[in-house]
Amino acid sequence: MLLVGCAEDLSTLHPAGPVAAAVADLWWGMLVGGTIIFVFVMALLAAAFRRGGHGRDGERVWLAGLGLAFPLTVLAALLVWGLMLGERFLVAGKPEATRVQAEARQWAWTFRYPGTDRAPTEDVLFIPAGQPVEIEITSVDVIHSFWVPRLAGKLDAIPGRTNILGLQADSAGEYRGLGAEFSGIGYLGHSFTLRALDPADWTTFLAGDTP
């Protein structure tokens, strides 16, 4: 059962775009930083049980140096690194971004392509590969959540509100998407497919044909 979380098509640790890669890098960084802090805290605990101790000066070095200064330094470094990674999340708002509308309901997704003559699609979202995409997410009934683990973090679909998520697929292919918010009976089947198309297939899709 534990191996279910390792499925590559739903794994945030197998990113297929810059936004998801930033999420994965941040996760690994926090794991390493947290492990380092844990190791030093355990070392402090072991030292506290050692016979003889180190005297007050020794205790001051361990408690103030490794107990406070070291963890704060690691956490500060993670914070700065996280802020730097945050720039990679800024896919939405780019002038070249393709705009798509995602509308959730129990239990389906409708995707629209404003500014084109393309008809809406149901439960299959088409985007151009290698280009930033801006997804306007909303709901017609209850709160849902839009999530394509290999391309970006999740964002809630809220009735009467439009939330914007930026993502990008590095290469053409299919990616699994989930309605990642408990929203009643039927929630487990609330999924969709995202298809990233190469330039020729994207042009064909906008013309009204499905590649």
Q: Would you say residue 211 lies in a domain?
A: no
Q: Does residue 198 sit in the same domain as residue 112?
A: yes
Q: Would you say residue 3 lies in a domain?
A: no
Instruction: Encode pLDDT of 111-140 as tens digits.
Output: 999 988 899 999 999 999 999 999 999 999
Last residue of a domain, one of 70, 89, 108: 89
Write the CB contacts of 59 (distance below 8 Å, at least 6 apart in sequence).
53
Last residue of a domain, one of 89, 107, 124: 89
Q: Does residue 141 sit in the same domain as residue 178?
A: yes
Q: Would you say residue 2 lies in a domain?
A: no
Question: What tokens were used for 164?
Answer: 């914007």
CATH number of the structural domain spanning residue 181: 2.60.40.420
Element (H, E) at 37: helix 18-48
Q: Does residue 127 sit in the same domain as residue 83?
A: no
Range(s) of the domain holding residue 70: 12-89
One digit per residue, the tens of pLDDT, for the chain of length 211 reads: 444 455 677 777 788 888 888 888 888 888 888 888 788 778 777 776 665 555 555 566 666 666 677 778 877 887 887 777 666 566 555 677 899 999 999 989 999 999 888 999 999 999 999 999 999 999 999 999 999 999 988 899 999 999 999 899 999 999 999 888 887 887 777 899 999 999 999 999 998 776 6
Q: Would you say residue 6 lies in a domain?
A: no
Q: Does residue 115 sit in the same domain as residue 202?
A: yes
CA atoms lying within 13 Å on the CB side of residue 34: 6
Cα radius of gyration (the chain): 23
3 state DSSP class of 74: helix
Last residue of a domain, one of 59, 89, 119: 89
pTM comes to 0.74
CA atoms lying within 13 Å on the CB side of residue 136: 12
Q: Would you say residue 171 lies in a domain?
A: yes
Q: Would you say residue 7 lies in a domain?
A: no
Q: Does residue 83 sit in the same domain as residue 115?
A: no
Q: Would you say residue 123 lies in a domain?
A: yes
Q: Does residue 70 sit in the same domain as residue 106?
A: no
